[in-house]
Structure 1
Amino acid sequence: MLLSRFIFLLVFLSPGLPVSAQAQETAPVGIAIFNMAWAGTIDDFKRHVEVCGAPEVNWCDSRIKIPRGTQHAAPEEEIRAKRCREATIEAAGGFEAMMMTAPCNAYGKRKHPGRAETAENYDAKLSGLRATIENLIQNENIKVIAFQEVKSREVIEQVLGEFAGQFNVCIAPHDAFQTVAFAWDKSISSISSAENSCVPNLDLAITEQLRDEPARHRVRPGLALRLVINGVPVTFLNIHLKSGCANLKTGSGFTGHKLTDPDPACEVLNRQVPILEDWVENVARESPRFVLFGDFNRRIDEEERALVAKSDVRTDGTDSAEPNTKDEWGRVKSSYLWQEIADGFPAMHQVPLTSTERGCNGLKGLDHIVISDAIKQSQTRELSSRKIAVVKKRPQPIVTSDHCPNVTVLEL
């Protein structure tokens, strides 16, 4: 551990100048989050159609549907989902192959998916993604992009379009279709090697099942991008946490949950909390200037506004700044994500969403940008972020994305 920190300091600190002096020189850098909604290559899509269009699968949904407000599915629903899952595994050629294929409901719920899910319609999605990203780079001056729900480096290079040669790309290895990735302008960092800039956090990719099962699904890993901007190290942490436990308060048809509620999705997200917190704290010790951003799948802005007392953050009343005790499954007493990870060390600040372009009607409140106190102190302008509409045709049977890019400009 000490050796890795020594190497980090050698690589990321400029010689002959203290960090405090280096940090005085800043320049605006545009950054963005973009969940691209099961983005793969056209060959990945054709494989999805091959599996889902198999007669024994017939576009079935292998996820167990649990009615809102309940904790468990009906027995007949569990049987249906099991049969669908078994058929999909067989059509794909095994569990591992199935996990690397987009599921049958990935690109929309339709009565006749086989008619809508054509290569031509998927190509329209890819074109929309490429036009959206080119707009971010050309018109919004974005230099660092954190991607979620991507399959490979290849698809990222494709959607970078005319700017592909201008950007470095790295991606977190994962045993499922969805993972996280970065693209960043080669001109902004003094680190020349893209390979040495990215460090995945595979610990975040926990299994959703608590007990031993033959086939186990893992959620997404994290990815750290370490750059030197204006002579000072900056670390970007890209996350895509477990979905299904987004709201603290009940609203818009979604039941509100604390992370300690007996809800299957909340239990998985709860188990990611101590891993995320440890990761952030370790990074903060080596790189006080850091950005934590991505798809939190949690309304941390809602949690922040709740003004939770410190004694209520954990169900046992212990201080959130103290070590977090796990049970045998890795669950903790933390009821809130934001209050647990922003416990004072490191001090962190949410970048508020101040405007949303017309046409951003997709998922809301899940994508967030959080900055360290060291970065906040160097800002001369008020913190703000914006949702930028995705480019799409009308009609477009397969949507460009159900997320809009969230962008901000930071002085780094």
Structure 2
Amino acid sequence: MRSLAALSSVLLLALSSCATPPTGAPVETVRAERPLKLASWNLEFLAEREGVGCQPRTAADYAAMRRIADSLNADVIAFQEVESVAAAQRVFDPAKYDIVMEDRPGKPSGTCGGSNSSQTVIRQAVGFAIRKGLAFDRNPDVTSLMIDNPQLRSGVDITLRAAGYAPIRLLVIHLKSGCFAGSDRPACPVLLQQIPALEAWIDQAARDAHRFAVLGDWNRRLGLPGDLLWTEIDDGDPANADLLLSDAGTDPHCDPRYDSFIDHIVLDRRSGAELIKFSETLYAPGEKHYSDHCPITVTLSR
């Protein structure tokens, strides 16, 4: 009996060593098995609770959005227009993703427009969903993008240090809406004030040791010839600020009303050299659009 018990103990130990590491296991145990996939998705007033906010949703809507998020099979997803961590977790399965969001509380006020005029505006914040097991550092939020206006979004800045991948610094942004091209729209002075802060972050990151990417809703058609915002930031000074617009030469198909992307994943010279492909994930034909944006992704070789 004593020898049988000893054999049972050995078998149990062997089986436990092969089991999937529990949540919270050291990140060093999770290694890259594929290229790095980054995504960005504006979730259009994603509220914590059903029936709330300027885009009220049902339980079925949240379930469909989670299905789409899962289908991206991304390592890191930059998101915009999300009320809280709890709201993000309704789309990004907390068993699969860690959530980090900007600390800015914002000052949501007033009611929504159009058919939802009886609904109350909710907080709109940016953040990341990061695949569990991937090591990362959270850097200070880029509050300079707010230009002292609590209604404007700050940026969330992380450095991914996942085993098996080259380190990469990631910034998620959501710039001022309404200045999609040119400089003469009422919103343009605000957007143009945000650009020096963004360029300062890019230039500093370009001097640092790690490659980087800026993801999110730029509210700007950067791919238009001679766009002044793109010209300003893509100046190659420092050398790694020679940027790559990952969607360059690609037309969006999310909404037939729009022929240019305003959501972008911008890569520095180092990460741009590792770009395998850019893609846009569309809603199925006849399917409800659960957000007025579609997810975009880039795949990097490491």
Q: Does 1:264 align with 2:205?
A: no
Aligned residue for 1:197, secondary structure, equals strand
Give the Å deviation of 1:239: 0.8
Q: 1:350 to 1:337 in 2, by over 3 A?
A: same
Aligned residue for 1:218, secondary structure, equals coil
Of 173, 183, 200, the match for 2:141: 200
Alignment of 1:2-401 (within 5 A): 28-42=35-49, 45-46=51-52, 102=53, 106-107=54-55, 121-137=57-73, 142-161=74-93, 164-176=94-106, 177-189=123-135, 191=136, 196-207=137-148, 218-229=151-162, 230=164, 232-247=166-181, 257-258=182-183, 261=184, 263-302=185-224, 305-306=225-226, 336-345=228-237, 346-352=241-247, 360-361=255-256, 364-379=260-275, 381=276, 384-390=277-283, 399-401=289-291
Q: Distance in 2 between matches of 1:131 and 1:391?
A: 12
Q: Distance in 2 between matches of 1:143 and 1:404?
A: 17
- 8 Å contact 2:254–2:293 — kept in the other structure? no
More strand per residue: 2
- 8 Å contact 2:251–2:261 — kept in the other structure? no
- 8 Å contact 1:26–1:411 — kept in the other structure? no
Give the Å deviation of 1:187: 3.4
Q: Distance in 1 between matches of 2:49 and 2:269?
A: 42
Give the Å deviation of 1:206: 2.6
State the one-letter code of the partner of 2:99.
V
Q: Distance in 1 between matches of 2:284 and 2:144?
A: 35
Give the Å deviation of 1:279: 1.1
Q: 1:264 to 1:126 in 2, by over 3 A?
A: same
State the one-letter code of the partner of 1:39.
L
Per-residue CA deviation, residues 352-404 of structure 1 (Å, 9 max, x unaligned), is: 2666796654765101111111122345x4xx31110246986x5xx510000
State the one-letter code of the partner of 2:72.
L
Give the Å deviation of 1:242: 0.4
Aligned residue for 2:80, secondary structure, equals strand
Aligned residue for 2:61, secondary structure, equals helix
Q: 1:356 to 1:245 in 2, by over 3 A?
A: closer
Instruction: Look up the match of 1:56.
Output: none
Aligned residue for 2:129, secondary structure, equals strand
- 8 Å contact 1:238–1:292 — kept in the other structure? yes
Q: Distance in 2 between matches of 1:362 and 1:147?
A: 22
Give the Å deviation of 1:198: 4.5
State the one-letter code of the partner of 1:344.
G
Q: Distance in 2 between matches of 1:366 and 1:167?
A: 26
Give the Å deviation of 1:285: 2.0
Give the Å deviation of 1:227: 1.1
Aligned residue for 2:223, secondary structure, equals helix
Of 290, 297, 301, the match for 1:407: 297
Instruction: Look up the match of 1:81.
Output: none
Give the Å deviation of 1:233: 2.2
Unaligned runs of 5+ in 2: 1-31, 107-122
Q: 1:280 to 1:352 in 2, by over 3 A?
A: same
Give the Å deviation of 1:344: 0.9
Per-residue CA deviation, residues 292-333 of structure 1 (Å, 9 max, x unaligned), is: 11111001111xx33x7xxxxxxxxxxxxxxxxxxxxxxxxx
Taking only the aligned residue pairs, the percentage that are identical comes to 28
